[in-house]
A = this chain, B = another copy of it.
Amino acid sequence: MIKQRLFTPGPTEVPPEVLIEMARPMFHHRTARFRKMFGEVTSGLKKLLMTDNDVLTLSGSGTAGMEAAIACACPRDKKVLVSNGGKFGERWVKIAKVYGLDVDEVQLEWGTALQPETVAEKLASGDYGAVITVHSETSTATACDLEAIGKVVSGTDAILIADCITSAGALPLRTDEWGIDIVGSGSQKAMMLPPGLAFVSVSEKAWKNIDAITPPAFYLDLKAYRKSLAKNDTPYTSSVSLIRGLKVALEMINGIGIETVWSRTALLASATRAAAEAMGLKVFSSQPSDSVTCLMLPDGVTDEQFRPVLRDKYGCSVAGGQDSLKGKAIRISHMGYVEPLETIGLIAAIEYTLAEAGADIKIGAGVTAAANVLKDWR
């Protein structure tokens, strides 16, 4: 009788309206009914991503979408600049190398973000065909200034491929205005869906690259998706139930307006950081993302004392730290279907759990701090 709540940075909570829609009987994807739905979903995604570019929907995780972009759109005769400030940056480096690209890896200290100046300096050489960056690095809960990086890259011949898996629908993201050639995202984050769909928006500039390259893959060949998209369709069997759910989720998000969702997410993050300060917990990251917050566990409290208790006793699942943060940090999502009252409840549960683990915690200090920030919620 303990309610289970997901505060993990993906998968995230799925609204009951979406769950019910996905539970409806199956129908076939090669039908006018499906194409109508798929067309509506594509329009909704464009609105959410603020783009007139093609938005392709693949059945696969966010990684599949990013791999398709990296494999299909990076020119083979130039270098590719890849920032690596965490587990996901590291993954894009690996993928670029799998496809034999000439990778220039920018190693970042964990908790710091790629700086626009670095990109400008590198690209001044004219040697680069693509820049790959992570907008919100989930492993370190750190966000870069994607707008500024977009401005730098769009003034060059290179394209910008942005991993927006934990930013699209959570952080401000204006694809066309910022000049982001390829946005990669996934369903199980701010989109409020189960995992299983990847979204890839592609600019004209990026399509020129793609058209010039012999596709190094079949399932992940973006040209096949573009061809089908013209008929509101997908090249391979579509995840019909997930697309149904996506339609409802997009109606919910676009119904209240993506900018409202952004400010809600930011307020939840701000409340969590205020609560952390009141509880004496350190926020990891010098440039914290608003989609996920990484907090250091206090000295003397182990992950084993903390996360299993928070989950089993209080029903709140948060993620742990990765690599050098393993066992030392927790990560809390603010994406999608979480809201103030739950976040206040989570802070209370964190207070209880830390107190039980022997930390010096004054019950109520964190919740008061969070409640005071969140009173401005709308």
Contact = CB atoms under 8 A, between A and B. Distances in A.
Contacts of A38: none
Contacts of A3: 337, 339, 341-342
A183 interface: no
Interface stretch (A154-162, A292-300, A319-327, A360-368): A360-368
A349 interface: yes
A375 interface: yes
A252 interface: yes
A16 to B, nearest CB: 9
A371 interface: yes
Given A1-B253, A15-B1, A256-B1, A341 B367 contact: no
B315 A341 contact: yes
A13 to B, nearest CB: 9
Contacts of A98: none
A371 B375 contact: no
Interface in A245-294: 252-253, 256, 261
A173 to B, nearest CB: 18
A348 B363 contact: no
A243 B171 CA distance: 46
A86 to B, nearest CB: 29
Interface in A1-30: 1-3, 5, 15, 23
A346 B252 CA distance: 23
A345 interface: yes
Nearest to A349: B341
Interface centre among A1, A313, A316, A355 (most CB of B within 10 A): A1
A374 interface: yes
B348 A344 contact: yes
A372 interface: yes
A352 interface: yes
A314 interface: yes
A340 interface: yes
A351 interface: yes
Interface in A301-343: 313-316, 337, 339-342
Contacts of A15: 1
B342 A371 contact: no
Contacts of A368: 363-365, 367-368
Contact of A1 (B252, B314, B346, B363): B252
A339 B348 CA distance: 12
Contacts of A316: 341
Contact of A363 (B253, B345, B375): B375
Give me the 4 closest cross-chain CB pairs, A-B, nearest first: A341-B345, A364-B368, A345-B345, A348-B371
Interface of A: 1-3, 5, 15, 23, 252-253, 256, 261, 313-316, 337, 339-342, 344-346, 348-349, 351-352, 355, 363-365, 367-369, 371-372, 374-375, 378
Given A348-B367, A351-B371, A367-B368, 4 more contacts: A363-B372, A364-B369, A364-B371, A364-B372
